[in-house]
Chain A
Amino acid sequence: MSGRVSLEASGVSKVFGGIRALDNVDVRVDEGEIHGLIGPNGAGKTTFFNIITGFYRSDGGTLTFQGEDISQSTPAELAQRGITRTFQNLQLFEEMTVAEHVMVGYHRHGTAGFVAGLLGTRHARQEHRRAVEMVDATLERFDLLGIADAFATELPLGHQRRVELARAMALQPKILLLDEPASGLNAVEAAELMELIRSIRSGGTTVMLVEHDMPVMMGLADTITVFDFGISIARGTPAEVREMPQVIAAYLGEETDD
């Protein structure tokens, strides 16, 4: 909404064997907006996220973040630059507490090296103390303080999603990609989630969101891009997109959950 481009993909393609999961798609995400990405199952939304976050390489086209080429970066490098995501199927750390998850998210702000860590130098200890403070703040924000010492993988799904979100936010990302964060949540949880996502955006983080839950999407997104069979078929505000014939065609018989 600020008008500056955060993430821009043009001509991005991905072929798996015979399947063109993405075919020459163009997506532009502006800084500070909540950008929705919708499309039927198999449209290529997750694949697109995988390309942006460096898990897959695009088979062509260009990919820039804040004007710089990121098409060859690894996930870890992208995370260091401020791009991170959550997963459609959760990816949590086993045998780590909620607080530790958040602390790992804070990892990129640490500077003490391994040897310092092993030897327990002053620097390492101070850094640890700072991290603990930061973690408490994040836990509070995501309402996780009460379960800070629980093992994340043992929590109910709704909590796990919040842990993943909190972990991602601990990174203090510039752009956060959320892949179906509301799936499996009940209505109350979904409403809480919408609030959280809004607060993330107001904290200055650009959000890109994939979501099948149309009410959630329509209520949150500033701009929406629509994929179908690997092609970007539409772009506009929720109100505009909802009326587009090609979108209606793509969703014919699909939109049962409204």
Chain B
Amino acid sequence: MRLPMSARSAGIGLVLIAIILRLGNGRGFGATEYAQLTVDGLRSGSIYALIAVGFVVVFNVTKVINFAQGAFVMLGAMITADVYSRSLTGSDLLNLVIAASIAIVLTTAVGVVTDIVFMRPIRKSNDLVKIIVTVGLFTALEGLALLKWGPNALRLPAFNTFLTDNPRDTNYRPFGLLVKGQSIWIWLATITLLIALSWFFTKTMKGRAFRASASNELAANLMGINSVAMATVAFGLAAALGAVGGILIAPATAPIYDMGLRLGLKGFVSAVTGGLRSVSGAVAGGILLGVIENVAAGVTKAGLRDIWSAVILILVLLYRPEGLFAGKRETEKV
């Protein structure tokens, strides 16, 4: 069964690549253009990856698809932009650091409170109820953001502007490509964060306890691990990851109260692409989605961009519901 299945996936992949090349050819695209589209896709993909890891972390521990995740992203971006604009100190760089720290702490607190106040009481309810509650939380957080910040966009300057005299982002142009300074910040921060996370999960007592709880709640309980508390940790961690994603992407867009929905859905599709249970799968899923989406949008109509995530979601669910990167060890969880 596996061989024809993977043959089919590979076939679909090849056909997609052929179509992309065909379409790009019609526009006179060469290697530089494809490379440019890929580089840009890698940067939104990194953000999707961070958001997707948030979905996975919560899903593993609580079996809930937390649709409030997008709101955490929005809060990270909006709180940072808001606090930054208040110029609390004389140094812009310091203002950014303060704003980002406040945003991460506050958003994490929102995640923790979300779990304690809303999710804990319905711990024993069925999954549909929990998902509806997370959707409701998303709606509520977005509504609160609209009340707080109104319908207008905020702004956060690109991080490079804090280190240079250039009022705009410093752009690098290696090999005729455009690499925005902010992209480098995004990649560095994402890589650092993922390494830290993996160190936490594999090398610390609490991280291991967290994984144990995600893997087998029953057995983890017997080891003295409080799975209820682990759920709270999961929400806090997911919120923090979402907030960081929001902060990193804020300078690339104009943060606005309803920016969370789209990013949240992209993170969700990335997580599903990676199998919904695997952190590394989610990261790969996010990066893959970012690149595919951007290249596909580049050779077709960009107005279709959001359709690609839906297409990927459908293909994954139809052909590889266990995730694109699931190895043979993948087993059904009890």
- From A113, A116, A171, give the contact of B224 (CB < 8 A): A171
A117→B215 contact, CB < 8 A: no
List residues of chain A with CB within 8 A of the CB of B224: 76-77, 79-80, 84, 107-108, 171
List residues of chain A with CB within 8 A of the CB of B216: 91-94
Distance in angstroms from A191 CB to nearest chain B CB is 26
Instruction: State in angstroms the CA–CA spacing of A19 and B130 once bound together.
Output: 32
List residues of chain B with CB within 8 A of the CB of A92: 216, 219
Distance in angstroms from B294 CB to nearest chain A CB is 32
Q: Is there a chain B Cβ closer than 8 Å to A160's Cβ?
A: no
Instruction: State in angstroms the CA–CA spacing of A253 and B127 once bound together.
Output: 45
Q: Which of B204, B216, B233, B331 has the most CB of A within 10 A?
A: B204
Contact with A along B196-214 (1 / 0, CB 8 A): 1001101111111101100
A124→B331 contact, CB < 8 A: no
List residues of chain A with CB within 8 A of the CB of B222: 53, 75, 79, 84-85, 91, 168
Instruction: Tell me the nearest residue of chain B to A84, going by C-beta.
Output: B222
Q: Is there a chain A Cβ closer than 8 Å to B226's Cβ?
A: yes
Residues of A within 8 A of B (CB): 53-55, 74-77, 79-80, 84-85, 87, 91-96, 100, 103-108, 110, 112-114, 116-118, 120, 124, 127-128, 131, 151, 153-154, 167-168, 171
List residues of chain B with CB within 8 A of the CB of A154: 329
**Chain B: interface residue total (CB-CB under 8 A):** 29
B206→A117 contact, CB < 8 A: yes
Chain A binding surface, main DSSP class = helix
Instruction: State in angstroms the CA–CA spacing of A127 and B218 once bound together.
Output: 25
Instruction: State in angstroms the CA–CA spacing of A105 and B221 once bound together.
Output: 10
16 additional contacts (CB under 8 A) given A112-B206, A117-B207: A75-B221, A76-B221, A76-B225, A85-B222, A87-B219, A100-B208, A103-B208, A104-B223, A104-B225, A107-B223, A110-B206, A117-B200, A117-B206, A120-B196, A124-B205, A127-B205
List residues of chain A with CB within 8 A of the CB of B221: 54-55, 74-76, 79
- From B196, B203, B208, B331, give the contact of A153 (CB < 8 A): B331
List residues of chain B with CB within 8 A of the CB of A85: 222
List residues of chain B with CB within 8 A of the CB of A128: 203-205
Sample (25) of A-B pairs whose CB atoms are under 8 Å apart = A53-B222, A76-B224, A76-B227, A79-B221, A84-B224, A85-B222, A91-B222, A93-B215, A94-B215, A95-B215, A96-B212, A100-B202, A103-B205, A104-B220, A107-B205, A107-B209, A107-B224, A114-B233, A116-B206, A117-B204, A128-B203, A128-B205, A153-B331, A171-B223, A171-B224
